[in-house]
Structure 1
Amino acid sequence: MMSKKLLPNNWRKRIVGALLLLTTISAAFPAHAQQANVQKGPSGLTAKLINIESATNEPFRFSVSLHNGTSSQQLYELKADLPVGWQASYRVEGSQVTSVNLEAGKTQEIAVEITASSAASARKYLIPFKAVSATQPLSLQLEAVVKGSYGSTISTPSGRLSEEVTSGAHKEIELEVRNTGTLPLNDLEVTAQLPSGWEASFEPSKIAKLEGGKKTIVKASLKVPDKTIAGDYGATFSLSGNNANGQASFRIFVKTSILSGWIGILVILMAVAAVYVLIRKYGRR
């Protein structure tokens, strides 16, 4: 049988010591391992979506990635070349910023929010977005497609926002719902905020669709409770729906009925007559 050759004790100790030293170094310096994960490649701006469609009164929201491919830290100033009347804002981790300080090899996500002018026409707009440092200008062309505008109002055909109603009676009020935008409005509904005890119903109760620039009439039937004290009251009619809202505040004067007035006069006359009879009967004694 062949005998196994064993390493001398001093060599075995050296090998074990070296292994222990390598394990200790790896545990003590995790940052070196992290450096290996730093992204490599040239600096640049990229976006998940460069073309977004929206209405003029809704913001365009882009998610942009900024990568610093240089060997040193860079301070990038953020800017966008916008049409007249447009606005832009930039957010990093929820905070609004105007510049980003980025370490070498790192990437930062930037939320870019662009708001179009209310007068913007429906078409595609090219918007250069830039991140500029002292050593390198980076740019990305974004596309904002304006598809139109949303807008709505609620009022009356005449514009008059005051009415008279008799206590205990019904009152019909014509409300004009208008689409002031260019895009259609869907699932519109009119509701009312009324004094306690008052009731309102609407015909139609809902508007399925109203095209841009069009208007329609909604008839509101108002019921005022009996014995409502005469005076001025406030009522608010509200319009709600997909991409629609509006309010119309009414001044409503409640008056008593003619019958109630005559009954009051009759009661007064009966009271006067009763006093007269009592005086005639007992005044001679």
Structure 2
Amino acid sequence: MVMKRIYLVLMLTVLLLAAPQFAYSQAVGEEPFQLYAPFTGVIIGAKDRATLDVKLKNMTDKGLSVKLELDKDEKAEGWEVMLLNSEWSGFGVSGVYLGTGDEDKEAMVKLRIKPAEDAAAGEYRFIVKASTLDGVFSEALPIVVQLTGGKVGEEKAKTDIELEAKYPAVEGTPGKAFSYEISVKNAGGDAVVVDLVLNLPEKWSGYITPRWESERRINSIKLDGSATERILLTVTPPMDVEMEKKDYPIKLVAKAGDVEKALDLSAIIKGTYKLQVVPETNRLNFDMVAGEEKRLVLYLWNEGSAPIENISLLASKPEGWEVKFEPEKLSSLESLLVTQKPEQVTATFKAPERTIPGDYQVSVTAAGDQDRKSLDLRATVKVPTSWGWAGIGVIVAVLLLLFGIFMKLKRR
């Protein structure tokens, strides 16, 4: 009887310990994730640096957090061995999250291995360990490094530069700065200083800055072996850039020793349009007499960079008023940078003779195919001088009539 009880206790203990692993097996079959690498054994020289892809794949239908650890060979003292998120730059990685979608179901980290300068030739072993956060499931990936003297990949020691623009063709407008994001990669194994030379169209200006330091302008950049840096190339076309030629070539040249590489870029310039209308007096109000014409000179100009076509002059006026323009239309208005002076238009206003004195609003609009501009004017209408004399005459006549009546009444 006692033996049966001991047996039952042992069976329950085994089942409790195996329950989490059994739950995983029920949920995902055999393993919640896979840990693997395309290359698990490499041969490098003492002056080389190896970067290996380590991949993880979620085998479940739920999101999964995985802890990463790295065991170094005891003999690899002074070696640089670490897991990174990027080969060229970035940060160390100690864990990844595996989602369930096509984009995040798999993850890849970089295992960087760089021998110590005084490392002895021989075989070194490193182990990448991955486990669930509860520690129930784990996998180990051994990596074997065979270290030899000198360099194995001598071709990487050759100096080489690679230039790439994220967007090689960018649209811009005259007088406004715009930028290109460019990657400069040292495809060789040794550190180099890369000189940067910019070739621009005539009258254009430009400069180069680090990607995240827009205030610092540079002419060269130092790159370690196999390193990549991102830079910003900012250019500004002149205000009077020729609009007939909309596509302008820009070239960035990178030089390192005897190696020279060029990156061809394109600037697509689009014209701007800005119509302006201002009275010659620079005042938005004027006086006029009812029944008489009032002339006002208007100045029109284009502050943009491309011509404005088919400009018509229109007016919104009180009922019964007359407004005329000379000329009524302009076939084309070039940029002020080209004309160097505004166009003149004479506007003539006339209010009816019986217009009540006071202030009236008249809106003048210059409308072209590409832009339009409106101007609200205040016209102060006054009565003609003849009306004043007529009024005086009426007053005098009334006074004389009253005086005659008064004299007749006095005689009686």
TM-score when normalising by structure 2: 0.36
Task: Name the CA shift for 1:284/1:153 in 2 (closer, same or farther; >3 Å).
Answer: same
CA distance in 2, matches of 1:146, 1:231: 50
1:129-278 equivalent positions in 2, closer than 5 A: 145-213=268-336, 214=339, 215-278=342-405
Residue deviations 1:253-275, cap 9 Å, x none?
11111111000111011111111
Identify unmatched segments of 5+ residues in structure 2: 1-99, 105-165, 179-235, 250-264
Residue in 1 that maps onto 2:108: none
- Counterparts of 1:167 and 1:270, CA distance in 2: 26
Letter of the 2:365 counterpart: S
Q: Partners of 2:237 and 2:383 in 1: how far apart?
A: 53
Change (3 A) 1:283 1:120: farther
Letter in 1 for 2:382: K
> Could you tell me how far 1:85 is from its partner in structure 2?
8.0
Identity level (%): 29
* Structure 1 unpaired stretches of 5+: 1-70, 87-118, 127-141
Query: Alignment partner of 2:352: what SS?
Result: coil
Distance 1:196-1:74 versus aligned 2 partners, 3 A rule = farther
Three-state SS of the structure 2 residue aligned to 1:229 is coil
- Which residue matches 2:33? none
Residue 225 (structure 1) shift: 0.4
SS of 2:395's equivalent in the other structure is helix
Deviation at 1:74, TM superposition (A): 4.7
Structure 1 letter corresponding to 2:319 = S
User: Given residue 277 of structure 2, which amino acid in structure 1 is its aligned partner?
Assistant: I
Amino acid of the structure 1 residue aligned with 2:334: E
Aligned residue type for 1:200? V
Secondary structure, aligned partner of 2:404: helix
In terms of Rg, which structure is larger? Answer: 2
CA displacement at 1:190 relative to structure 2:
0.9
Residues 280, 296 of structure 2: 8 Å contact kept: no
- Pairwise CA distance, 1:177: 1.0
Q: How much is the aligned-residue C-alpha RMSD, in angstroms?
A: 3.3
Residues 113-128 of structure 1: pairs in structure 2 closer than 5 A: none
Deviation at 1:237, TM superposition (A): 0.6
Letter in 1 for 2:272: S
Residue 218 of structure 1 deviates from its aligned partner by 0.8
Residue identity in the other structure for 1:219: T
In structure 1, distance between residues paired with 2:400 and 2:167: 88
For these two proteins, the number of residue pairs brought into alignment is 167
Structure 1 Cα separation of the partners of residues 301 and 321 of structure 2: 26
CA deviation after TM superposition for structure 1 residue 124, in Å = 5.4
The 2-side partners of 1:148 and 1:167 are apart by 45
2:408 aligned counterpart, secondary structure: helix
Q: What is the CA–CA distance in structure 2 between the aligned matches of 1:80 and 1:148, rounded to whole Å?
A: 21
